Amino acid sequence: MTTITRFAPSPTGRLHVGNIRTALHNWMLARKTSGRFVLRIDDTDAERSEERFVDAIRADLDWLGLTPDAEERQSERLALYDAAFEKLKASGRVYPAYETHQELELKRKIQLGRGLPPIYDRGALQLSEGDRVAKEADGIAPHWRFKLDHDEPITWDDGVRGAQKFDPAQLSDPVIRRADGSWLYMLPSAVDDIDMGITDVLRGEDHVSNTAVQIQMFTALGSEPPRFAHEALLVGKEGKLSKRLGSLGCDAMREKGIEPEALIAMLARLGTSQPVEPIADRHLLLDTFDLSTFGRAPAKFDDAELERVNTAIVHVMPYADAEPRLPKGIDEDGWHAIRPNLSTVAEASEWWRLVTGPIDAREFDEETREYLAQAEKALSWSDTPWQDLISTLKETTGRKGKALFLPLRQALTGMDHGPDMGELLPLIGEDRARERLDRAKRG
């Protein structure tokens, strides 16, 4: 059976790294077995959903290389939900309830005060037909609840958490439809999973109790539930992640120069027993992807760790991948020379200034200026000008180590550190090198 997974964001804000991690793991679960990855836009909340966020979700997934095989929108599937609702209604698995939010909150407080679980008491089921008619005559429109079957425990083998068991009597009958006719998450999601042939649902552990309820919905609708797995949540420095944390969104990552490969490498293994490594090869990440390695403890997202992974990714990035974003003039040799000094590709322009100039002028004492004058005379151009220059000066001046190298680097680049001079000097070229040495020897 072909593995089919789905990522189902609500377009009420930008994706944050927690959402991205869920999307990535579903993409990996599908791709590992050449399956299908579906993007489902959960936009039934018309008041909060915005088209600009739909566009942003698509753009973010595209930037990350998590392109879905298909896209569905819940707002275009309302007829399916209506049909499922009527089927459940006919079989007695949904029922109208009339309590206001305030009444439900009061019931909850009373139950908590008595040491009881704050679950719905099924008061609406005690209403007679006459009671319901009277309430609706008073203008009270019902919301609708799914009636859980209390006869048997709800069980499943979770891909991350192992054997799970819930007593349905300890769960509230969930509201599936509001009084205005709009849908909540539970039923449309189950209907979509059935219609789309979803075989595996991988999501956060905050959905575990939802899964218990939805398993009964699948059964009530005459379908076999998919396989479920619930991974530990991702947390940030301030605790639980949310769409309000803009610094943890793809747009902010791009602005900081984070490579998609770095974010993928980190999120692929964060929260598993496998080490987070700067792996740009997604085939290797897929080969090692295994739900059995997922831990139960919340995984902490660390910006500093992401930056370390990003730096390592940049340091091995092929020229062809970087070239479209590099300043004009940087060829493969130039990229190879400056790449070890970069944290982001965007920093390349600053380091390339060491080649093209202008460089910062340095002040040298008389002894050093005399040494640089000797260097200018000793400079001979070949395939290895730096190595030849160092060899000659070491022999003629007796200098070694820092005294030999540092003044030359300072005169030729204006800096105390930087790219390997053996690679950099040929890029600077003979004319610029002689000009810089001449200026330096004159002070």
The CA distance from 89 to 359, in Å, is: 77
Could you tell me if 262 and 24 are in contact, meaning their C-beta atoms sit under 8 angstroms apart? no
Is 399 strand, coil or helix? coil
The CA distance from 365 to 370, in Å, is: 9
For the CA atoms of 328, 330, 331, 335, what is the dihedral angle to 10 degrees? -140
> What are the residues facing 234 on neighbouring strands?
299
Max CA pair span of the chain? 110
Pair of tokens at residue 259: 């490579």
Pair of tokens at residue 100: 């206001």
The CA distance from 400 to 403, in Å, is: 6
Is 74 strand, coil or helix? helix
Is position 243 annotated in a ligand binding site?
yes
Could you tell me if 259 and 314 are in contact, meaning their C-beta atoms sit under 8 angstroms apart? yes
Residue ranges of the annotated binding site are: 243
Residue ranges of the annotated binding site for ATP are: 243
